[in-house]
Structure 1
Amino acid sequence: MFQNYDSHSDPAAHPPRLAALRRELAARELDGFLVPRADAHQGEYVATRDARLAWLSGFTGSAGFCIVTPDRAGVFIDGRYRVQVKAEVDPAHFTPVPWPETRPADWLRAALPEGGRIGYDPWLQTRREIREMEKGLAGSGIALIALDANPVDAIWPDQPEPPAGAVRLWPGGIAGETAAEKRTRIARALREAGQQAAVLTLPDSVSWLLNIRGADVPKNPVVQCFAIIEETGHVTVFTNPAKFDAELRAALGNEVSVLPLDALTPALTNLAGPVRVDPASAPDRVFALIESMNTPIAEAPDPVILPKACKNPAEIAGMRAAHLQDGAAVTELLCWLDGRAAQLDAEPLTEIDVAQKLEALRVARGILDISFDTIAATGPHAAIPHYHVDRQSNLRILPGHVLLVDSGGQYPDGTTDITRTLPMGPVDPAVRRPYTRVLQGMIAVSQVQFPQGVAGCHIDALARAPLWSEGMDYDHGTGHGVGAGLSVHEGPVRISRISEIPLAAGMILSNEPGYYREGVFGIRIENLIVVETRESPDGRAMLGFETLTFAPIDRRLIEPGLLAPAEIAWLDAYHARVREKIAPLVAGEVRDWLHQATRPLGGGA
């Protein structure tokens, strides 16, 4: 229903496309071109029309980019995709490049030692990205050239049309604040900063601001659009107006205008400044258009992004409700898998079987969509953090293998994301120690209490410390922000080494340490957590985390002797809450299984 298991592309198609792009670049007197994963809105999920990197190279990860020169094509990927990229790109034509360890400017200096002209699409690159690259290229003789037309589009004969999904209202009872109230709040912030307007380029920012949801990109119910909010509170949305029916326009009121996308350029060149624009997310072209009229620009973060990240009580209540239904669906899956584990020889089970079963269970619980493509990964595939199963890669689940299932749903009242790792029959004892260390890291984050001002970079070390004690680590962040009925990966807050944004009450994040042994197995355990205020004996303002996710954590891979008493107590208390909340939502053998799966680790009832 929601996930496509067909192979993303024909591997044989990519070398001819690369050759065609090089011919196009030569015709434009260019020595290279930047091909980002992102669209003009810097979204993790892109419409098929904007999937230029996948179309050109075959790489389907959610982050990365390619730099094409006359004799090199480097695909830049971070630690999440080091294994995946090897399976998806043709090494005879595309070279994986570790990033951010290798800076693109340094790579270009080596690729074009005599200088050259590197083209880029200014709608697809942010102002910050271009500045950083220009700084890195200073003195090299290599020039970055903003192009009026994308050369990949010129060689893509059957490029899909832009998305045109219908827009719907997000209920006020779940939003907890009307669109008018939100517009007033953001407009007040602009006036206080002395700014006349702000350009919004992130679809989830506009969707949150106006209490609307869309269907333009898979899994994320955002409206693909740009917007300008004025210091008066008036908002102009730039998109395909056909997405907005008459009833929706009436609900938005006269203070919200909807114009075609081609009206954006004249609007940007007619703004009175200072105009607030975020260099981290806004396209380079947006800056250039405003600058062309000498209009003052106030560079600052998107004014919506932090208010959106701090969920109000109604949004948190909706997320709690969504997680109860989701926890019941995941519990049903875990029970089903437990029953299948003893029959794998007689009744084959594959990764796609698991993903489809979980999707069906969620459909029965009322999801509108999945929140990302389900990662159902067994054996070596579990060692690929963002593995995507298709009919070509689909593995049979074998007895004794570890199965990792990372999945989520878009419910009518919230967004979920959960990972569980479980043994499919007796497994190699070598899995138990890293599994326990991963669990300890997840528990450490769940339990921590911290003062205001602490950022994700401080919390991140708590999750890694148990693994570090064994000389282990993982090459992804510990947690990402999560939207309320929006993008499952939401900025700007994260739990990672590089996130310096202070955590604040209402922020919802994932808590998902992991461990991956390439070619053998992978482990990840994930719950969603929300930042809450805590009482302090000395009156200090403190924060902590409330856990939103409720589903059993497999106990069979735990080495109990590695856990401290406080960690065992946390796990037993968590499982008691899972039993209390989920048991009324399931029946029969699932309820019986749940009671067994959530027994105290040390025994007992």
Structure 2
Amino acid sequence: MLMQTHEARLSALREELKRRGLDGFIVPLCDEHMSEYVGAYAQRLGWLTGFGGSAGSAALMTEKGSGNGAAIFVDGRYTLQVREQVDGKLWDYESVPETSPAQWLTKNVKAGQKIGFDPWLHAFGQFEQLKKAVEKKGAELVAVEENPIDSVWQDQPEPSAAKAVPHPDEFAGEASSSKREAVAEWLNENGADAVVITALDSIAWLFNIRGSDVKRTPVALSFAVVKKDGSAELFIAPEKVSEDLPAHLGNRVSIRDRADFEAALGEYDGKTVAVDPTRAVAAIFVALLAGGARVIKATDPVVLPKACKNTAEVEGHKAAQHRDAAAVSSFLHWLSETAPKGEVTELSAAAKLQGCREDTGVLKDLSFDTISGAGPNGASPHYSVNEDSNRTLAPNSVYLVDSGGQYSDGTTDITRTVWVGPDEAPQSIKDRYTRVLKGHIALDRALFPKGTTGHQLDAFARQFLWQAGVDYAHGTGHGVGSFLGVHEGPQNISTRAVPQPLMPGMICSNEPGYYKAGEYGIRIENLVLVETREIEGAEREVMGFTTLTHVPIDRALIDVSMLTDDERAWMDAYHARCREIIAPQVSGDTLGWVEAQTAPLS
């Protein structure tokens, strides 16, 4: 009999922990690669709690004690969603970064207790925090050999067996051998013999391979070690090796079974091995140290070059964006005619949008599950629609749709918020929408000197909302990969002080928003490319953003009187460029809609 209720699953896990002599357990939403999005087999947090977001964790004790004796931790993006999906009678809701599992443990653990954790699902830094918190209370943190959730999850999916395939150099823009030589040079400069690469997108980029092991992200489950002579080992399950993969990788790359990875870490006795503590799990550090290696903590050397797109990646991304713009515009035209009749739901809208992208004939996958939020559902920034939550797009309401596509030449991500007529939108909603738009324009037009971080620019997007005493609880911008992850570092535009400067070739999102709980959500998102700017008389290197996304912005929600002359000029120029890109790709009524939507503001 399968356990269908989350109460039964929590109860079964507590019994399993007792059987193992454990008094508590930590449950991250993670896999062995510290991925943001994980395969179905690693969705342990969702299976246990019902939470469907992409970031979160949980902690529980076998005995309830105070409260529920179990807590789920999410940040501001999921404040509403977690309460809709997770039973408050079973789990206490905790907000990050105000608290954390480590802090929760200091309040709930008693001396002599044993708290379990899976060393393959926690970064080394997280492991150290948890260990310190538990030992401070006289308790013990215990590494489990087998995850206890796997023991009670009766229908747990198997890891994907899909093939890993070559990613053509015409899209990659640089041969894998050249990339590995750059890593070898980095190793020699840093006095290391080898580096362990664990992030799936880093491996995909470094070896110019792609896969389908993680929903919406074209990566292949694998680990890699690159050595200072430029040779490398790729650890991947044998059944995942496609026929043409060995020839693509060449004789400088040894293909080894993924099951041998942990044992292989014991082969570096007396060697110096670099590992990224934010991307590698604690078990990797333990295995290296146990094998006699000297471990140095260093940022994954693939991260920065992957973020700074080369010419082929930039041109590929532009082609993908132009194609995507026509698909999204076709959807928005359909929506403008159909939604006011009350005939569209969140699910049918998301399906129609996916169909428009599939009509391109080259869509590989979506880049994430479409956020299709009607009315109050749009007030949850990372809302995930399902059959239970599915709402009809009511006439005279706000609809938010955040979506993207995966194409061989690029990854897209766009949010548009539209007014579902037929009546005119209330002034209060227009005010909030226009403030979001003004912030979007301000960030898009920003010029900044070399060395500027996204943190320094974040206020550009928030300033007009702040003037009205409101804000939004998510970042303003994230990096985007090249037919890879829709979320990519190290760049970031947010209130969080990320030290990485913005650099030419980086692709970021520009997505300020506003959310009125119980009523509606607003977000306007384009992707932008960091490029250098020539400024007469400049005494420092200056950079700015070039817009990559070109889809009309809903005119029905703009209060034109709130825009300055410069902002109106930006809007007219932006819409003219949208028309230039989209018009040759569409016809008939869709073309008429595009021309009307991109006409100069009155």
Which letter maps to 1:25? Answer: L
Tell me the residue number matched to 1:358.
353
Instruction: Give matches, 1:129-144, under 5 Å.
Output: 129-137=126-134, 139-144=136-141
Deviation at 1:143, TM superposition (A): 2.5
Secondary structure at the aligned position of 1:35 is classed as strand
- 8 Å CA contact 2:165–2:244 kept in 1: the answer is no
The letter for the 1-side match of 2:347 is: I
1:158 aligns with 2:155: yes
Determine helix, strand or coil for the equivalent of 2:484.
coil
Would the aligned equivalents of 2:135 and 2:141 in 1 still touch at CA under 8 Å?
no
SS of equivalent residue, structure 2 residue 244: helix
- Counterpart of 2:20, as a letter, is R
Report the equivalent of 1:314.
Answer: 312
**Alpha-carbon distance in structure 2 between the residues aligned to 1:313 and 1:444:** 27
- Give CA-to-partner distance per residue, 1:525-570, whole Å, 9 cap, x none: 0000111011132241111111110100011111122222211111
User: 2: CA distance between counterparts of 1:114 and 1:275?
Assistant: 37
Equivalent residue number for residue 533 of structure 1 = 532
| Amino acid paired to 1:316 | V
Task: Please state how far the C-alpha of 1:115 moved relative to its aligned partner.
Answer: 5.6
Counterpart residue number, 1:433 = 431
Q: Deviations over 1:552-599 (max 9, x none)?
A: 001111112222221111111111111111111111111111111011
Q: Does 1:416 align with 2:399?
A: no
Aligned to 2:485: 487
Aligned equivalent of 1:16: 8
Are the aligned partners of 1:400 and 1:428 in contact in 2 as well (CA < 8 Å)? Answer: no
Bigger mean CA offset, 295-304 vs 107-116: 107-116
Secondary structure class of the residue paired with 1:74: strand
Superposed counterparts of 1:326-345, under 5 Å: 326-344=324-342
* Distance in 1, Cα, partners of 2:107 & 2:242: 53
Matched, 1:112 2:102: no
Show the counterpart of 1:167: 164
Q: In structure 2, what is the equivalent of residue 305 of structure 1? A: 303
Checking the alignment, whether the CA contact within 8 Å between 1:11 and 1:58 is kept in structure 2 is: no
Give SS of 2:351's match: helix
Secondary structure, counterpart of 2:505 in structure 1: coil
Shift of 1:482: 0.4
1:53 aligns with 2:45: yes
Partner of 1:504: 503
The 1:588/1:264 distance shift into structure 2, 3 A limit, reads: same
* Structure-2 residue corresponding to 1:295: 293
Please tell me the residue identity of whatever aligns with 1:178: A
**Does the aligned pair in 1 maintain the 2:507–2:527 contact within 8 Å?**
yes
SS of structure 2 residue aligned to 1:545: strand
Cα deviation 1:358-388 (Å, max 9, x = unaligned)? 1111001121111111111101100011111
1:109-167: CA deviation from partner (whole Å, max 9, x where unpaired) = 22225462211000000001112333445532233221111111111122111111111
Shift of 1:465: 1.1
Q: Which residue is equivalent to 1:35?
A: 27
- Mapping 1:138-537, distance limit 5 Å: 139-271=136-268, 272-344=270-342, 348-365=343-360, 366-425=362-421, 426=423, 427-498=425-496, 499-536=498-535, 537=537
Question: What SS class does the counterpart of residue 269 from structure 1 fall into?
Answer: helix
Q: Distance in 2 between matches of 1:463 and 1:273?
A: 48
1:544 maps to: 544
Deviations along 1:337-375, one digit per CA (max 9) or x if unpaired, are 11124422xxx2111111111111100112111111111
Residue 596 of structure 2 corresponds to residue 599 of structure 1: no
1:357 alignment partner AA:
K
Mean CA deviation greater in 490-499 or 173-182: 490-499
Question: 2:3·2:9 contact (CA, 8 Å) conserved in 1?
Answer: no
Check the 8 A contact 2:162/2:213 in 1, yes or no: yes
The aligned amino acid for 1:444 is A
The number of equivalent residue pairs is 590
Structure 2 CA distance for aligned equivalents of residues 338 and 134 of structure 1: 55
The answer as to whether partners of 2:308 and 2:506 remain within 8 angstroms in 1 is yes
Corresponding residue number in structure 2 for 1:65: 57
Aligned AA (2:450): Q
Contact 1:11–1:89 (CA<8 Å) still a contact in 2?
no
Distance 1:534 1:273 in 2: 45
CA distance in 1, matches of 2:460, 2:81: 28
Deviations 1:382-401 (CA, angstroms, capped at 9, x unpaired): 00111111122111111111
- Kindly provide the amino acid, as one letter, of the partner of residue 131 in structure 1: E
Give the CA deviation at 1:16: 0.7
The letter for the 1-side match of 2:351 is: Q
CA distance in 1, matches of 2:60, 2:78: 19
| One-letter amino acid matched to 1:56 | L
Q: CA deviation at 1:514?
A: 0.7
Q: Deviations over 1:278-330 (max 9, x none)?
A: 11110000000111133111101111111101100110000000000000011
What letter corresponds to residue 406 of structure 1 in structure 2?
A: D
Alpha-carbon contact 1:474-1:515 (below 8 Å) kept: yes
What is the rounded CA distance, in whole Å, between the counterparts of 1:237 and 1:154 in structure 2? 29
Q: Secondary structure at the match of 2:599?
A: coil
Separation (CA, whole Å) in 2 of partners of 1:247 and 1:110: 54
* Contact 1:450/1:542, CA 8 A, preserved across alignment: yes
Q: Mean alpha-carbon deviation: is it higher for 325-334 or for 533-542? A: 533-542
Structure 1 residue matching 2:452: 3-state secondary structure:
coil
What is the Cα deviation at residue 484 of structure 1? 0.4
Deviation at 1:479, TM superposition (A): 0.9
SS at match of 2:327: helix
In 2: Cα distance, 1:437 partner to 1:521 partner = 15
State whether residues 64 and 75 of structure 1, in contact with CA within 8 Å, keep that contact through their aligned partners in structure 2.
yes
Q: How far apart, CA to CA, are the structure 2 residues paired with 1:136 and 1:495?
A: 31
Equivalent position amino acid for 2:494 in 1: S
**Cα deviations across residues 176-197 of structure 1 (Å, max 9, x unaligned)?**
1001111111111111111100
Distance 2:180 2:106 in 1: 46
- Any idea what SS the aligned residue of 2:267 has? coil
Query: Is residue 166–residue 244 contact of structure 2 (8 Å, CA) maintained in 1?
Result: no
* Higher deviation after alignment, 402-411 or 289-298: 289-298
Q: What is the identity, as a one-letter code, of the residue corresponding to 1:102?
A: T
Q: Which amino acid aligns with 2:30?
A: A
CA displacement, residues 448-487 of structure 1 (integer Å, 9 cap, x when unaligned): 0100111111111111111111111111111111000001
Q: Does 1:568 align with 2:568?
A: yes
Structure 2: unaligned runs, 5 residues or longer: none
Q: Distance in 1 between matches of 2:499 and 2:393?
A: 41
Ranges in structure 1 where 5+ consecutive residues have no aligned partner: 1-9
- Between the aligned residues of both structures, percent identity stands at 46
Amino acid at match of 2:148: P
Q: Which amino acid aligns with 1:355?
A: A
Quote the Cα distance in structure 1 between the aligned partners of 2:15 and 2:253.
Answer: 45
Residue 147 and residue 403 in structure 1: after superposition, are their counterparts in 2 closer, same or farther (change >3 A)?
same
State the one-letter code of the partner of 1:381.
N
Read off the aligned partner of 1:317 and give its amino acid letter: E
Equivalent in the alignment of 1:6 = none
Whichever residue aligns with residue 600 of structure 2, its letter is P
Per-residue deviation, 1:50? 0.7
